[in-house]
Amino acid sequence: NAGVTQTPKFQVLKTGQSMTLQCAQDMNHEYMSWYRQDPGMGLRLIHYSVGAGITDQGEVPNGYNVSRSTTEDFPLRLLSAAPSQTSVYFCASSYAPGPRAGTEAFFGQGTRLTVV
């Protein structure tokens, strides 16, 4: 059972370049999300999706785009990379959560991105 798979694990970009971080899950989860992790900041939500064809913004969406054409895949696009986007990026998935359900989120291994 692969769970949540992120690629690549490491990436170096030059300022202004674009790229796509891939995320795939094989658990048939409706809910997927992208976070960035920065020192002293914890995890901050970038974008999320509650199902195929539906996406919404999180806390820090600027500079990132997402789409959800299938249940399995949720790619994150950086349109024009900036040094401020240097971070570790995590994708997560879960079943459709309910407030009392205690629905667990499963995380990928992360992508460490450096923008120079």
Partner 1 sequence: GNSVTQMEGPVTLSEEAFLTINCTYTATGYPSLFWYVQYPGEGLQLLLKATKADDKGSNKGFEATYRKETTSFHLEKGSVQVSDSAVYFCALRGGNNRLAFGKGNQVVVIP
d(C-alpha 32, C-alpha 37), whole Å: 16
Residue 34 in contact with partner 1, rule: CB under 8 A:
no
* Site track for partner 1 across 67-106, x = CB under 8 A: -----------------------x-x---xxxxxxxxxx-
**15, amino acid identity:** T
* CB 16 to partner 1: min, Å: 29
The footprint of partner 1 on this chain (CB under 8 A) covers a number of residues equal to 29
**Residue 4 in the binding site for partner 1 (CB under 8 A):** yes
Residues in the chain: 116
Residues 6 or more apart from 23 whose CB is under 8 A from it? 4, 5, 6, 32, 34, 73, 74, 75, 76, 91, 108
| Cα 111 to Cα 19: distance, rounded to the nearest angstrom | 12
Residues 36-55, mask of contacts with partner 1 (x by CB under 8 A): ----xxxxxx--x-x-----
How many Å apart are CA 61 and CA 71, to the nearest integer? 21
Q: Is 14 in the site for partner 1 (CB under 8 A)?
A: no
Binding footprint of partner 1 on the chain (CB under 8 A): 4, 31, 33, 35, 40-45, 48, 50, 58, 90, 92, 96-105, 107-110
